[in-house]
Amino acid sequence: MNDIRVRYAPSPTGQPHIGNIRTAFFNWLYARHNGGKFVVRIEDTDQERLVEGAYEGILEALSWLNIDWDEGPDKGGPFGPYLQSERLEVYNSAANILITKGVGYYCFCDRDRLNNLRKQQQENKSDIKYDRKCLNLSNDEIEQNLSNNIPHVIRYKIPADNTIQLNDIVRDEVEWNTNLLDDFVLIKSDGFPTYHLANVVDDHSMNISHVLRAEEWLPSTPRHLLLYDALGYEPPQFGHLPMILGPDRSKLSKRHGATSILEYRDLGYLPEAVINFMVLLGWSIDDHTEIINRQEMVKLFDLGRVGKPAAVFDIDKLDWMNGNYIRDLSDEDLFEHVKHACIGEFGENIVDQYSDRLTKMTPLISPRMKYVTDAPDMVSYILTDNLSVEKEFIETCKLSSSDITIALTATIKYVQEEIDFSKDTLESEMRIICGQLEYSPRNYFGLIRNVLTSRSATPPLFDIMEILGPRDTLSRLDNALKLFQ
Ligand code: GLU
């Protein structure tokens, strides 16, 4: 039996960002590489910070990136429930064990007292710590307070003068002195556990073998190790993943680009590009390989190659990667993305009506696409039979009005007679017309491009003409000519 069990334990306090999902993905890779299990557990114990839609957003982000989970709140599993708010008895009984062992104690201090205490400590420049006023309450006092329903929390009594050691998979040896720690809360006044207690109890009861999480949780780890010890649990192995910084080396934030993972989807990034970009935020196979497909990632993922230094988030690299992945898609797969983006922009009817044109256009726009969402704008002029083009725009081709009339008249005549409307024939015949009229190809083909597409940059003109077909080409040329007569 393989006992590698890892978990992603987000708090539904907002939409998941790249840092959260990088953690999820590294856990997923570790599980898949080792044939272990990847568990999703929702840590919703901070009732005040819950954000509506965050839970759904987390699962949707994972699904969009094809990060599948073996156990989780929506699908259950042998260690469920996987939503902490449904496991309150488990935490309460752990807290009771700690009280019985003399390391957990009731605290009835109210918010005002704690605020004043903090203020005083700040003024005296002493450590900000709970002063243990309630540590030695008698059983009678406790019973009386409880029966009077005095709001209370349960705290953990930090042992004095201990050194706590961690051998972290990523950060190696880390040590803390317990004198620096405060008697932290285990159960809050609303009856919910704190992150520390719930996290430890669940990692133990869900048989988690490795806790791979962001470095920001490293300072919480000594508290967790104390709890493992006090509860008589074997701690899992810990690996704290490097921070992710913006290109200016400050903490990654909204101003460095989109922060919610689903925003990347909406901006037109492909999931595989985001995955590839994300895996390099802290892991590598060597010092130069950038494009790595998911299969290789699963095959090669190794915690030994997770670096200690902070990873730098570079949106230009993500853009570059996205372009790469777009060009790597088969025409059929790219078409599905293009179609989806166009339905969002123009509606299903239009896309169905011009589906043939869109299919032919897809490989032509791929070289210039940076985002999937570029597609609607790049194809809009073929998804209509009535393109209207401004006279002023047509004139940007640099031919005079009379030359425009001559060129359009000659082209219309040619198009009316051409039977073979294939791009090769169109190209060779229109080059002859251009030569006969003695216009520079740039100006002449610029004119035809302006008229047929209302754009100055498009895929090759003759491909566009073939896609539009003789009837639509002719009507666009006719309409343009009318503007000059
Ligand atoms: N609930 C914590 C979070 O939101 C989990 C941290 C951990 O993995 O221990 O990230």
Neighbouring C-beta atoms of residue 12, cutoff 10 Å: 23
Q: What is the mean pLDDT of residues 100-118?
A: 97
Cα–Cα distance list, 459 to 9, 269, 284, 368, 456 (Å): 47, 22, 37, 9, 10
Atom of ligand 1 nearest to the CA of 199: 9
Give the model confidence (pLDDT) of 64-75 as tens digits. 999 999 999 999
Could you write out the DSSP letters of every residue in 425-446?
HHHHHHHHHHHHHT--HHHHHH
Whether the CB of 194 sits within 6 Å of ligand 1: no
Least Cα distance to 67 among 32, 34, 17, 42 occurs for 32
The tens digit of pLDDT for each residue in 187-231 reads: 999 999 999 999 999 999 999 999 999 999 999 999 999 999 999
Task: State in Å: Cα 9 to ligand 1 middle.
Answer: 5
Mean pLDDT of the 279-290 span: 95
In this structure, the residue with its CA closest to atom 3 of ligand 1 is 10
Q: Is the pLDDT of residue 78 over 50?
A: yes
User: Ligand 1 in contact with 183 (CB < 6 A)?
Assistant: no
The pLDDT of residue 252 is: 82
Task: Evaluate if residue 257 carries a pLDDT over 90.
Answer: no
- For residue 249, what pLDDT band results from cuts at 50, 70 and 90? confident
Q: Which helix (H) or strand (E) holds 57?
A: helix 54-64
Q: What's the chain's Rg over C-alpha atoms?
A: 32
Nearest atom in ligand 1 to 211's CA: 8
Q: Is residue 231 within 8 Å of 97, Cβ to Cβ? A: yes
Amino acid identity, position 476: R
The pLDDT > 90 percentage for the chain reads 96
Q: How many residues does the chain have?
A: 485
Residue whose Cα lies nearest atom 2 of ligand 1: it is 10
> pTM here?
0.91
pLDDT band at 256 (very low <50, low <70, confident <90, very high): confident
Output the pLDDT for position 332.
97
Q: pLDDT at position 149, please?
A: 96
Instruction: Quote the tokens at residue 135.
Output: 């540590």
Answer whether 46 contacts ligand 1 (Cβ < 6 A): no
Q: What is the pLDDT of residue 251?
A: 84
User: What's the CA angle centered on 410, arms 406 and 412, to 5 degrees?
Assistant: 115
CA–centroid distance, 286 to ligand 1, in Å, is: 29
Q: For the segment 354-369, what is each residue's pLDDT rounded down to a tens digit? A: 999 999 999 999 999 9
Contact yes or no for 417/423 (Cβ under 8 A): no
Q: In this predicted structure, which of 94-108, 118-132, 170-184, 250-264 has the lowest mean pLDDT? A: 250-264
Q: Given CA atoms 229, 230, 231, 232 in this order, what sign does their dihedral have?
A: positive
* Atom of ligand 1 minimally distant from the CA of 220: 9
Ligand 1 pocket residue status of 10, Cβ below 6 Å:
yes
The CB of 217 under 6 Å from ligand 1? The reply is yes
The answer to whether residue 254 scores a pLDDT higher than 80 is: no
What's the rounded Cα separation, in Å, for the pair 323 and 371? 7
Unique residue bearing structure tokens 């910084």: 245
**pLDDT level of residue 1 (50, 70, 90 thresholds):** very low
Task: Assess whether pLDDT exceeds 90 at residue 253.
Answer: no
- Between strands 311-312 and 244-245, the pairing is parallel
Residue 467 CA to residue 359 CA, distance in Å, equals 10
Span 142-148, mean pLDDT? 97
pLDDT score, position 120:
96
| Amino acid 258: pLDDT | 67
